[in-house]
Chain A
Amino acid sequence: MTTAAAPTDLLYSGTEEELRSAVRALLTDRCDAKSVLDRAETGRPHDPALWHTLAAGIGTAGLLVPEKLGGQGASHREAAVVLEELGRAVAPVPYLTSAVLATEILLGCDTAEAAPLLRELASGSTVCIPAVPLTLAPGAPLPAPVRDHGGGVLTGTVTSVADAVAADVLLVLADTGLYAVPAASARLTPRVPLDLTRPLATVTLEAAEGTLLADAGTARAAVAGALLSGAGLLASEQLGLAEWCLTETVGHVRGRHQFNRPVGSFQALKHRLARLWLDVASARAAARAAADALATAAPDAPLTVAVAQAYCSGVAVRAAEECVQLHGGIGMTWEHPAHLYLKRAKADALALGTAGHHRGLVADFVELPAP
């Protein structure tokens, strides 16, 4: 493919900044680090009340849904801003899974059967989770572990489904098409997640009855498209997370005194944080480019998304690792929230394709083949 880049708007609009303010204000009030940790420790990290206000009250669940289906008719650019703020707060809400991945799958199907469910998702009244492994990557072959015994009677097992425990409805990709399955008719086996704020479960269907939403060909194309959007928007979550880590760490080293002066006055630490700031600034450009390319359906969107994922994954992990390290002993404790960010950053690095997978896609897209 040609590498000429489409014109890209990498800034934030006034509307996007207003949306950011609303989301940040809500998270500041209702999603402080201590309450996130307290929830995570109960083993049921999701905060349904927070989700309700975020999804329905502020209307973020319907950002990607057209107005004629009850949504906001906004775009990936706005959804990306929401994810930046959710990443900054390691918020335990199913936004990426329900408001991005499931919503994009249903939009991609574009069928009469999908429309009512989209309306429910847009209103925030239903949480819909795609029954695919969180590690499933755009550009990778789609697995087909679920079999249709005829008439939408489904059997199969899907591992590592993120946020499944919060689902009202599961979107199941079976051999014959895409089905909506009430979560109550699936067996969910929670697993112990590295990321305490985004729970994982194994979903088992034993002759569960689903409602057909799209045929197999349509469904597979829709899932592939949703994975691309999800990967592109995940970069914004990683950006927000990295930015929190940088800000928090700078605040700490300004206030922490050792050897009779703030530790932030030591050149070794100043240089590290300055390097991290440069990386975060670069990550912002990469994440914005991906959001804009998705919003404008740019021809080079798959490349831009792959670049963003190949870059932002590493920056988020490194920012969280630096946050732990530069907080010293405090950063190694359970009480300080740094570990929640490290765990999210590391799990995000595996979600929707690793940096290595995305570098491989870049190689394909720009025709720099392996030896």
Chain B
Amino acid sequence: MTVITAEHLLTRVRDLLAAHPPADTDRADFLRARFDAGLAWVHYPEGLGGLGAPRSLQSVVDTELEAAGAPDNDPRRIGIGLGMAAPTILAYGTEEQKQRFLRPLWLGEEVWCQLFSEPGAGSDLAALGTRAVREGGSGDWIVDGQKVWTSSAHTARWAILIARTDPALPKHQGITYFLCDMHAPGVEVRPLRQITGEAEFNEVFLTGVRVPDAQRLGAVGEGWAVARTTLMNERVSIGGMRIPREGGMIAPAAAAWRERPELRTHALHQRLLELWVEAEVARLTGERLRQQLVAGQPGPEGSGMKLTFARLNQEISGLEVELLGEEGLLYDDWTMRRPEGVDFTGREAGYRYLRAKGNSIEGGTSEILLNIVAERVLGLPPEPRDDKDLAWKDLNR
């Protein structure tokens, strides 16, 4: 196998741009051509949107295409598909599943959502109770249960789903992973209104939903291992945002300080400076982590990044509300909206303050992540657990 280099990729990008000049090409046509040229995600195999190149070379392609004004595939809108479903399908899917799902996923023609969390199984995800029972004649699975915190469920065409297929086994063993058709009969999506007034998320009710066995991902009862692949990719994508100096939440707070001298007090000054320094250090830690990854020396810092950003986002946005004085008493809009993604900069300080409260809950609570740091990074012994070997049906819930 030839080793793909940056020069090789640049040649391919220029060939693509020459054959499909962005200015004269339909967006969807351009994206299809890009996928078929192996420039969608270069580390994926040939024929699946990639070239088997090192993952770190993706930025070469992205930078060149952006400079040429090429359209992108709106990665924010399809973040769950790109960040979670795709790597899991790539790792565990059959050849048919990869051919069927990866191309429309990357093109954004099919939006994905994630049917993992349940009302009774959030941090303790493996305790999930949604059942999938195999039908004798057809071999199809019949799924019943309720999921929650499902972003994009109302726009999604497909879902990654984990369900319990053997309640007599310990909780990690009786789980199977499926690809679920969100248009199948028995799938009901209801908006879940949040503290901010909007509804980013949904509750999803599954009642007698039929899932063909061909949509199972991985072996029966092996779903927890498959789900771990998804979850590791989720935390990478949450902690992996690159921000400039004084980017993120500190930006509007610092701007308000500079533009509104009448709001300044000594007490706020001290707190603002502390948080500015902490935000800058967090940015540098993230940057160092990225450099370590590129150099092939992944460090444990990643486990802490989400914790750090959750705390900082909350403290900075809380400070910003106070800094604004009388205006801090106001809110921009309580209308129930259905945003496509979280936009911290498009709304006002009160929104940032309330939405940031979710940062320490979503994608693993800060308490769970601290446990992970303590146990996996520091090597501290785990708290005693009696749930690992008990049959799921015998657990206290």
Contacts and interface: CB of A to CB of B under 8 A. Distances in A.
Interface of A: 133-135, 159-160, 191-196, 200, 257-261, 263, 266-269, 317, 321, 324-325, 328-329, 331-335, 338-339, 342-343, 346-347, 349-351, 354-357, 359-360, 370
Contacts of B121: 258
A350 B325 contact: yes
A317 B314 CA distance: 12
Given A332-B194, A356-B268, A356-B322, 18 more contacts: A133-B326, A192-B333, A193-B329, A259-B387, A260-B395, A261-B387, A263-B123, A266-B367, A266-B383, A267-B383, A324-B357, A325-B357, A332-B195, A332-B361, A339-B195, A349-B322, A350-B325, A351-B329
B353 A346 contact: yes
21 contacts: A133-B326, A194-B328, A200-B329, A258-B123, A260-B385, A260-B387, A261-B396, A263-B123, A268-B370, A325-B361, A331-B361, A332-B358, A333-B195, A334-B193, A334-B195, A334-B197, A342-B195, A343-B354, A347-B329, A351-B329, A370-B266
B267 A135 contact: no
A351 B322 CA distance: 10
B7 interface: no
Interface in B322-359: 322, 325-326, 328-334, 350, 353-354, 357-358
B202 interface: no
Contact of A350 (B148, B322, B396, B397): B322
A328 to B, nearest CB: 6
Contacts of A263: 123
A263 B331 CA distance: 34
A191 B396 contact: no
A334 B194 contact: yes
A15 B331 CA distance: 40
A176 to B, nearest CB: 25
Contacts of A321: 314, 357
B267 A269 contact: no
Contacts, number: 132
Contact of A260 (B192, B326, B358, B390): B390
B122 A328 contact: yes
Interface string B226-270: 000000000000000000000000000000000000000111100
B127 interface: yes
B331 A192 contact: yes
Given A329-B148, A346-B353, A359-B267, A317 B318 contact: yes
Nearest to A354: B322
B330 A194 contact: yes
Contacts of A267: 383
Given A332-B358, A334-B193, A334-B197, A356 B329 contact: no
Contact of A329 (B122, B387, B395): B122
Interface hub of A269, A338, A346, A355 (most chain B Cβ within 10 A): A346
